[in-house]
Amino acid sequence: MAIVYQKNKKTEITYVYQNEPYWDKEKQQSRAKRTLIGKLDPETGEIIPTRTYKKKDKKAADMPLKRGPVPITKIQRSFFGASYLLDQIGAMTGVKEDLKFCFPENYKQILSVAYYLILEENNSLSRFSHWQRLHIHPYGDDLPSQRSSELFQSIDEEGRMAFFEKQGKRRIEKEYWAFDITSISSYSETLCQVKKGRNKEHDHLPQINLALLFGEESGLPFYYRKLPGNITDVKTVKQLMAEFDVMGYKKVSVILDRGFYSKENIDLLYKNHQKFIIGVKLGLKYVKEVLEEERKNLQLWSNLQTQFGAYGICRTIEWEYEQQRPYKGDILKSTRRAYLHVFYNPEKAAKDQANMNDYLSALYNDLAEGTKKEYRMKDYDRYFEVTTTPKRGRKIQPKEDAMRQTARNYGYFALLSNEVKNPFDALSLYRSKDIVEKGFGNLKDRLNFRRMQTSSELSLNGKLFIEFIALIYLSYVKKKMQDASLFEKWTLQGLLDELDTIERFESPEHGRLLGEVTKKQEEIYKALGVALPSL
């Protein structure tokens, strides 16, 4: 509903109307119903209500006030379709409602910056001013550099934790939660958590680590935590369990990569009554014993699941549980039931062999050229012996026993769970962990966060939170696109660009009008589970 001003040229009186757009089914076009509410005082600019409107006003005086539509003061044509999609996603996921509760004063600014990050792939915030002039967005106004810095710094820890709690409780007990960690490099010397650490990209820049928690069924993230760059994966589980307790998450099922495995962590998961699936290394004593007993059975047709192209077996084992009791000064020891799943995948075996051949060649070349890499130091000695004699000079000899032992386990892998008994149910759940990797990819590449470009802790915390909000929306769209097989026709950016062409026209005299929506665009909205746009 909009306020419309119309001047009578003969009497020079400006009348004020309420303009209510509606869809005329017979004429198949947008129409508007106008109700006279008064006239404009030329001196004060105030609206003088009509008698009938005054009577309606008295009847409504006792009713709670609702915020009316924003008055239209200028003629404007803006891109609307993609923003409308994000509005609907915010309503369906509860993100908008939860943000409004946790950050009542600036939730619209947070959403507008998140929309910009999603729709303007890889662009820095310096272009927000240009983008917002052409697009409908929740805040509806510009956020210059100084204002965006103030916005980042206003997002406090209390609000963030409240948001995580609300989002998590929307899906608690409905799905497993996949947890993983990535590194984000930084040039900053002022951020206290920026430390030198190890990462998969072997980047030599200092870094922070970022932990993300995703729902395996919904495909949505709802928790993250920033960590010092030198913290290893295995040390984070204890803190994760503590923060679950703070947020009131009692019955949680988690999926963890084998980098999080330690006896202390498994004991902690049992102690907190957390259900889990975790990757385990083949070199562990109890895993080696089961693998040796089942190695032949793991290639029988009866243990094959063609859907996964893998053989799998489950063995029930007794976990040697230990719990330190400081108040008694002793260690409580008992056993807990666990399910060890061992698998063999022929395709993985071939891939493991090819990867290991490449790796051994790289090790040999490093030794031959004298260019050893720090992160490979243990493997130089493990797989090669370097000797030097006056007569033959320097000689690099492969340690074939070690290579043979490694080759013996090509294609094998193992999972441990305290709940899931079927090996392929466990494998299906564990593979959903890939959504975290994809989430990291979206955060670093599409949302332009591969390098931190902030110099203060408060700004980093705020910007990271808004990036996280944008990641929720992106993850929702990608999950819906996968479910509807839309990636066969569209890229993510192509789909958003297609919807972004739908316009909304505004005029003080005519209210708001929606631009044309093509059949192709209607099909996209329908596939994403979103109602067609209307005013």
Residues 23 and 6 grouped into a single domain: yes
Beta partners for residue 178, in sequence order: 214, 255
Exposure string for 386-420, b = 16+ CB within 10 A, e = fewer: eeeeeeeeeeeeeeeeebeebeebbbbbbbbbbbb
On whether both 126 and 249 belong to a single domain, the answer is yes
Q: What is the pTM of this model?
A: 0.71
The residue behind tokens 């993510």 is 492
Instruction: Categorize the per-residue pLDDT at 230 as very low, low, confident or very high, splitting at 50, 70 and 90.
Output: low
Bridge partners (DSSP) listed for residue 33? 20
Give yes or no: residues 127 and 229 share one domain.
yes
User: Tens of pLDDT along 489-503?
Assistant: 999 999 999 999 999
Contact 479, 471 (CB under 8 A): no
Residue 84 has pLDDT above 50, yes or no: yes
227 and 365 in a common domain: no
493 and 456 in a single domain? The answer is yes
Q: What is the domain extent for residue 10? A: 2-76+502-526
Look at residue 2 in the predicted model and tell me its pLDDT. Answer: 65
In a domain, 187, yes or no: yes
Residue 21, SS3 per DSSP: strand
- Report phi then psi at 178, rounded to 5: -90, 130
Same domain, 110 and 208: yes
Q: How far apart are CA 143 and CA 140, in angstroms?
A: 10
In a domain, 86, yes or no: yes
- DSSP-derived secondary structure letter, 303: G
Residues 488 and 526: beta-carbon distance below 8 Å: no
Indicate if 197 and 109 belong to the same structural domain.
yes
**pLDDT value of position 477:** 93
**How far apart, in whole angstroms, are the C-alpha atoms of residue 220 and residue 222?**
6
User: What's the whole-number mean pLDDT along residues 453-464?
Assistant: 74
* Within a domain: 460: yes
Task: Output the CA–CA distances (angstroms, integers) from residue 49 to 6, 42, 126, 356, in the order listed.
Answer: 15, 14, 45, 82
Please report whether residue 519 resides in a domain.
Answer: yes
At residue 16, what is the residue type? V
**Bridge partner residues of 22 (DSSP):** 31
The two beta strands, 511-514 and 503-507, are antiparallel
If one counts the domains in the chain, the total is 3
Same domain assignment for residues 135 and 245: yes
Average pLDDT score, the chain? 83
Q: What SS3 state is found at 28?
A: coil
Give 138-189 pLDDT, tens digit per residue.
999 998 878 888 899 899 989 998 998 888 888 766 678 888 887 765 544 4
- Bridge partners (DSSP) of residue 343 are 312, 413
Looking at per-residue pLDDT, the higher value among 250 and 52 belongs to 250
With respect to residue 199, please indicate whether it lies within any of the assigned structural domains: yes
Instruction: Indicate if 474 and 506 belong to the same structural domain.
Output: no
Per-residue DSSP letter, 13: P
How far apart (Å, rounded) are the C-alpha atoms in residues 214 and 272? 20
Residues 116, 137 contacting (CB under 8 angstroms): yes
DSSP string for residues in 260-294? G--HHHHHHHHHTT-EEEEEE-TTSHHHHHHHHHH
